[in-house]
Chains A and B, each alone.
Chain A
Amino acid sequence: MADHKRIDEVTGTSTSGHEWDGIEELDTPMPRWWLWSLYATIVWGIAYVILYPAWPMVHGATEGVLGWTSRGQLEAEMRADAARRAPVMNAIAATPIADLPAKPELMQAAVQGGAAAFRVHCVQCHGAGGAGVKTLYPSLTDDDWLWGGDLATIDYTITHGIRNPDHKETRTSLMPAFGRDGILNAAQISDVVSFVRTISRQEKPGASSARGATLFADNCAVCHGAGGEGGRQVGAAKLTDAVWLYGGDRASLTATITQPRNGVMPRWGERLDPVTIKMLAAYVYSLGGGEKPAPAPEGPKADGKP
């Protein structure tokens, strides 16, 4: 091919010797700086291989003299972030939970931290945003609380859980299985359902509900209160309102009285640190139904009365 090489008159450059129908190719030399750039990248590459993990081996890879690992970098970043957050976390730890709302900035930080922890530990049951799951897990956004909705109460509930076996401080209660265990027969359950639907203003009073009132007073009032206003010390639901965890229609109420669910929640005090639980409580409190601390554990609700 070299035979066909010649110097192009116009440019003074050698041709490559290739020719297609009279069209020739110039063999323009690369600029020298381009070559230097190539050498620079080679030097860079060698330095990189020496400094950083590079060659894959049978087990792992060469480590590099800097000892850098992505895991180590992540750990350093996590440590730095923990150090960054430390003042706020310490301040939250030092503040009694009931005093948080009085410090808006601390409260906001706690709510944000709680939102993050909630997404990790709580959404599996209580749903994103604390929306709850109908007939399974209570909504945390409304103004109806089984065990109470002020900050300290929420904190206690999260710490000790609900109906934990072998835990003294857990919140616990047991609604009898009136139907399954034969405490009430089907007709009696139907009457109690009528009464409950009457006090929640879903049905008009009638003969059935009148019979149910007596049964309610004998069997239910001890926990749910004489008027069905609920009892927070035992987590007994308020039956006069519009919020029903397991449904307020006849079929759902019948099912609940026949065989109650007695829902459980893990005790988080053993898994999470007190500050995280405090932040979780602040977050749940902020979802819209948070209550002012009640003067007594079973005092009237501060929220939601018509």
Chain B
Amino acid sequence: MASPEDLTHPALYEARKGVYPKAVNGFFRRFKWAIMAVTLAIYYGTPWIRWDRGPYAPDQAVLVDLANRRFYMFQIEIWPHEFYYVAGLLIMAGIGLFLVTSAVGRAWCGYACPQTVWTDLFQHVDRLVDGDRNAQIRLGNGPWTFEKVAKRGLKYLIYLVIAFWTGGAWIMYFADAPTLTQDFWTGQAAPVAYGTVAVLTATTFILGGFMREQVCIYMCPWPRIQTAMMDEKSLLVTYKDWRGEPRGSVKKAMAHPGAFGDCIDCNQCVAVCPTGIDIRQGPQIGCITCALCIDACDSVMAQVGRPRGLIDYCTLDDAATEMAGGVAPPIRKTLFRPRTLFYFGLWGAIGLAMLFTLGQRTRLDLAVQHERSPLYVQLSDGAIRNNYTLKLRNMELRPRRVEISVSGLPEARLWIDGGSRETARQSLHMPLAPDSVTSARLFVVAPGAGPARQDFTIAVRALDDDPRGDRETIQFDRPGTEP
């Protein structure tokens, strides 16, 4: 930042100002611990959950099997053509963020965002190795003694271990975790696995260890978008300046009763802030609403015997009410308002619709393509043959036997590769391998006399306990259909 004396040569680039957040305890800190534990446990642990799907599918509960183009999530198996379920999940995630932001402001930023969680984790590492805020500042400004080198080395090593573990956990979602772990350490995993781990280790190390709040302030688009979604009823971490100002120490306040507000200017809210801002300057882009300043201020207020909540979650409306001397309505009234209920309804409706269609989907699917070159084949006895490409999707995890039949085409006979016209009948049976697409060339012969272009139906039906199948209407061409 340019200093006033240096106006003619302002700094072109600004170095990062160190942030050394002080350890704090309180309700929101404990809440953050809990969320960190849950989110990290989900991230690191999920690929190791096993889920028995029988002999024809992997037994990993959550698996994005890119090689085989399958996505497994517990009971649900998604095929590539069902990708709209993933799109639906993404839409739900988007609306979920709208919902959360309109109700509780930047709660995502403050608690659940990976950048926040990992930064929090790395800041705990800082405290573990270097000590709390003051020790960190002292060490940071001090000369490079042996102690400093050793501590820095140890700290970066721990960073690196966490970063590597983070990158390593990511690839487990894309292959069988125990096998991949073994392959990884024996050098037999795919190059892309090592590359991914290397990239994610580097990004975690840099973003979590060094960039930290700069990611939120400079890089992330989400804070900018959020401002468009917040309104006067969204929760913000607010310094209640009408209660706190003018600031003065306890001693001054005792000397001049009534002249000072509740803020004793102890700077604890600034000391604990993980993004290094002063919340007393009002809402700002650097505030991720992690609420650690609330914890800090509450504990100070308790020490000096003043009511808690000088810094607190508060909406702009409530702030205006309180400033005018009124009493703000309870938070649940702000949470349940038409806007949040609408978002919630939309979010829930998409979820229910997806669950419904998931329950209804047929796991046997037929796609037929009429071969166009040639459109029809003249056979020597005057009959006409049309060729079709069948794609039969057996999406169940068991082998099945199905019947292919045609209707709406009189005297039609059909066979597939390996069959012949002599043995052809009006329907045929074929086996389908489990969880796979079977392609077959279907030959359909019908008498030469008939309309030049005729619609008929090809149907597939399973020959087991679940008779549901699929059908498709398609054309049969005879001479005279050429353009």
Contact = CB atoms under 8 A, between A and B. Distances in A.
A304 B377 contact: no
A143 B380 contact: yes
B378 interface: yes
Given A5-B7, A104-B418, A129-B373, A33 B214 contact: yes
B381 A241 contact: yes
B448 interface: yes
A266 interface: no
B411 to A, nearest CB: 13
A14 B8 CA distance: 10
B16 A242 contact: no
Contacts, number: 101
Contacts of A6: 7
Contact of A131 (B1, B15, B374): B374
B10 interface: yes
A16 to B, nearest CB: 9
Contacts of A104: 418
A241 B2 contact: no
Interface in B8-38: 8, 10-16
B385 interface: yes
Contacts of A29: 1-2, 10-14
A125 interface: no
A31 B13 contact: yes
A33 to B, nearest CB: 6
B7 A33 contact: no
A27 interface: yes
A254 interface: no
A306 B381 contact: yes
Nearest to B373: A129
A141 interface: yes
Contact of B421 (A7, A33, A304): A304
Contacts of A129: 371-374
Interface string B357-396: 0000000000000011110011111100101000000000
A242 B11 contact: no
A101 B418 contact: yes
A109 to B, nearest CB: 13
B379 A31 contact: no
A263 B74 CA distance: 63
Contacts of B441: 286
A178 B417 CA distance: 42
A159 interface: no
A268 to B, nearest CB: 21
B144 interface: no
Nearest to B382: A242
B8 A2 contact: yes
A2 B218 CA distance: 28
Interface in A143-189: 143-144
Contacts of B380: 142-144, 238, 241-243, 304
A141 B377 CA distance: 7
A27 B2 CA distance: 9
Interface in A24-64: 27, 29-35
A27 B10 contact: yes
A286 B389 CA distance: 13
Contacts of B421: 143, 303-304
B346 interface: no
A101 to B, nearest CB: 7
A139 B377 contact: yes
Given A7-B2, A13-B2, A142-B379, A32 B16 contact: yes
B330 to A, nearest CB: 35
Given A7-B2, A29-B1, A141 B381 contact: no
B254 to A, nearest CB: 33
Contacts of B381: 241-242, 304-306
Interface residues of A, number: 38
B211 interface: yes
A291 to B, nearest CB: 9
Interface in A117-151: 127-129, 131-132, 139, 141-144
Interface in B400-456: 417-418, 420-422, 441, 443, 448
B142 interface: no
Contacts of A32: 13-16
A131 B7 CA distance: 81
Contacts of B418: 101, 104
B14 A30 contact: yes
Interface string B272-290: 0000000000000000000
A28 to B, nearest CB: 8
A305 B381 CA distance: 7
A143 B218 CA distance: 71
A185 to B, nearest CB: 31
A306 B413 CA distance: 13
Contact of A33 (B1, B16, B371): B16
A81 B297 CA distance: 68
B7 A14 contact: yes
Interface in A99-119: 101, 104
Given A33-B214, A34-B13, A142 B7 contact: no
B14 A288 contact: no
Contacts of B7: 2, 5-7, 14
Q: Which of A5, A29, A238 has the most chain B CB atoms closer than 10 A to its own CB?
A: A29
A131 B387 CA distance: 11
B4 interface: yes
A139 B374 contact: yes
A238 B380 CA distance: 9
Most buried by B among A2, A131, A139, A288: A288
Contacts of A295: none
A304 B379 contact: yes
Contacts of A286: 417, 441
A144 B12 CA distance: 83
Contacts of B377: 139, 141-142, 288-289
A2 B10 CA distance: 11
Contacts of A242: 378-382, 448
- Counting chain A CB atoms within 10 Å of each CB, which of B14, B211, B441 scores highest? B14
A12 interface: yes
Contact of B1 (A12, A128, A143, A306): A12
Contacts of B382: 241-242, 306
The 8 closest A-B pairs by CB, nearest first: A241-B380, A131-B374, A129-B373, A29-B14, A306-B381, A14-B2, A128-B373, A242-B382
23 contacts: A5-B7, A14-B10, A29-B13, A31-B16, A32-B15, A33-B16, A127-B373, A129-B371, A129-B374, A141-B374, A141-B387, A142-B377, A142-B379, A142-B380, A143-B379, A144-B380, A242-B379, A243-B378, A243-B379, A288-B377, A288-B443, A303-B421, A304-B380
Given A132-B374, A142-B385, 12 more contacts: A5-B7, A29-B14, A30-B12, A31-B13, A31-B218, A34-B13, A129-B372, A141-B385, A142-B379, A243-B379, A304-B380, A304-B381
